[in-house]
A and B are shown apart, each in its own frame.
Chain A
Amino acid sequence: MSDSLMEVRDLAVQFKVKRGVTRAVDGVSLEWRPGEIFGVVGESGCGKSTLARALLGLVEPAAGEVALRGNRVEGKAEVAELRRRVQMIFQDPYQTLNPRQRVRSIVAEPLLVQKVDRSEHDGRVRRALEDVGLDPERFGSRYPHQLSGGQRQRVAIAAALVLEPEGLVCDEPVSMLDASVRAQILTVLGGLQERRGLSLLFITHDLSLAWSLCDRLAVMYLGRVVEQGSAVDVIEHPRHPYTQALVDAIPVPSAGGGGPRELLGGELPDATDVPSGCRFHPRCPRRFEPCDRIDPPLIAIGGRGQAAACLLHDPELAGRAVEAADG
């Protein structure tokens, strides 16, 4: 599958904490294709941000592999190559910019780090700022505290673009911005994807946003992908009870709201203590007999690439498990 931009297989990331080991990412495989907007959604603590950091080699995986254009990323040279071709922007625009650097040097920093010839700096910084809709003359010599939240996020995007990467990992890039500013930033990102064929990996907790923006998406729960497929299929016809619960919980900004609904009880368990079997079973409204014993793999549904890690879609597997227990 060398036509993917990036691919991870059986990736696991663990952190040592006082109470044991947090399995932040626990066996994730997915494929991010060139030119697409791929969404990773889930609640905070589901491991989506850790997954993004593992993709860029910012955290050390405990197991599994990461590949760029079909080549496994291992060793310094490959990581350096990866960081040239895939960039990342972060959630908090107030934290991502060094308060003591001017906009111009913030945007030029990647060129400096990657040792791009000095004579190219000015032109590329200028182009990157223009690409995100900031006038280089007006904004180049400002400091971050002289910018609004939306402008800061634009500067962060410009700094990510200046190396002309193929992929951009966006970790909740608009969750701290207001509705009108949010739409502006999304338009900038959408425009880049269209004009430059930039591939976006979009990490968000906002399902409506993921639905409207992404081509494909993966839903994460407790370090594992529980459902994936095209954004429309997954959100409009969820096949995993967890995805269903997430979709049901979205407040709807329209007359009458979303109406009555069934709410998921309980809270996301601690990732140091992952439940046995299907990790969602203690909260699942549709669990049945072998759910606490069998950890279901992603099971393909329909012919369009949708898959859900739920025994409901493989009664045979569930049945065999029950028989095995009885026998």
Chain B
Amino acid sequence: MTEVQTAPDAGTPVVAPAGSSAGDRSVRELFLHTWRGRIGLGIVGLFVLTAIFGSLIAPDDPNASSLAVLKGISADHPLGTTEFGSDVFSQLLVGAQVSIIVGFSAAVISAVLGAAVGLAGGYFGGWTDRILDPLENWFLVIPTLPLMIVLARLLSPSLGVLIAVIGLTSWAGTGRIVRAQVLTLRERAFVERARALGAGDLYIIRTHILPNTLPLIFANTVLIVAVAILSESALAFLGLGDPTRISWGTMLENAFNAGAPSAGAWWYVIPPGLCITTLVLAVSILGYMLEEHVNPRLREHR
């Protein structure tokens, strides 16, 4: 560390008057008054409602088997049937639950872990950072999917295990971003001022560091929701999902095992695939909008 002494940079006139840029809009305005925001929010909202009420509005028991095996679209079955004669549409509605639960829970775990590691490493530095930083890098560079597969295989598959596995393997990105932000915040004069007042580390983290990193953590977490939904689908597709629950991933797995694509049963393959893509896309739109909002450097080209 060298002496922190900046030369006087007095009287820097700003060419554009501050406080009038588009970026000063609130998040609420951002989401409700732009088309991107409305579409993203609308889709995510629809899927969340489906997750909550899906099992109530499903026309059939999604697990009920019948003799109408791999039948196409009909009045009874708006999206056809599975290889056991279950209703695809009902499975689709119920499946939303797993995606939403896994997506949001895993993202929360990932955010908490990433924020804790990033805050600790960035704020305390020294030995704490020397241990946490390589750990973070390690989680950042190892291929996540194989790690998830190994972990999920070692533990018996259940919803909780899925959430834990996805959460545990996806926090490193958040950690990185938080650590970088904390490193700059730590040198800001208001933190030094608090220290000069005699404030303790916990107080400084609580009132000065965390509130200034929260928007960043939040934006990043939304993006992780998308990653988590995809990961769950991938794991379920590979047969590592919760066997007691229907999810879009398990639907795809069953469809492939039953040879649906080669049998021309498109109604069994495309709807869950489309649901995954749409939800992930909508969540990503919101995530990127938030990220732009909290990170002015991404906003230059407005």
Chain A interface residues toward B at CB < 8 A:
15-17, 22, 24, 44-45, 47-50, 56, 58, 79-80, 83-84, 87-88, 90-92, 95-101, 109-110, 113-114, 145, 156, 159, 163, 172, 175-178, 205, 271
Contact = CB atoms under 8 A, between A and B. Distances in A.
Given A22-B3, A24-B3, A109-B194, 18 more contacts: A22-B2, A48-B5, A58-B195, A79-B198, A84-B198, A87-B197, A92-B189, A95-B190, A101-B207, A110-B197, A113-B194, A113-B203, A114-B197, A145-B18, A172-B8, A175-B8, A176-B8, A176-B10
B208 interface: yes
Nearest to B8: A175
A159 B193 contact: yes
Contacts of A175: 8, 10
B5 A45 contact: yes
Contacts of A92: 6, 189
B19 A17 contact: no
Nearest to B214: A100
B67 interface: no
Interface string B1-34: 1111111111100000011000000000000000
A163 B4 CA distance: 26
Contacts of B195: 58
Contacts of B189: 90-92, 95-96
B294 to A, nearest CB: 12
Given A100-B211, A178-B11, A113 B197 contact: yes
A80 B34 CA distance: 51
Contact of B2 (A15, A80, A97, A176): A15
Interface of B: 1-11, 18-19, 188-190, 192-199, 203, 207-208, 211-212
A47 B5 CA distance: 9
A96 B11 CA distance: 17
A57 B4 CA distance: 15
A114 B198 CA distance: 7
Question: Taking each of A91, A99, A109, A172, which has the highest tally of chain B beta carbons within 10 Å of its own beta carbon?
Answer: A109
Contacts of A22: 2-3
Contacts of A98: 190, 207-208, 211-212
Question: Taking each of B10, B18, B208, which has the highest tally of chain A beta carbons within 10 Å of its own beta carbon?
Answer: B10
A44 B18 CA distance: 30
Contact of B193 (A15, A88, A176): A88
A324 B1 CA distance: 40
A24 B1 CA distance: 11
A79 B7 CA distance: 29
Contact of A96 (B1, B2, B193): B193
A238 to B, nearest CB: 22
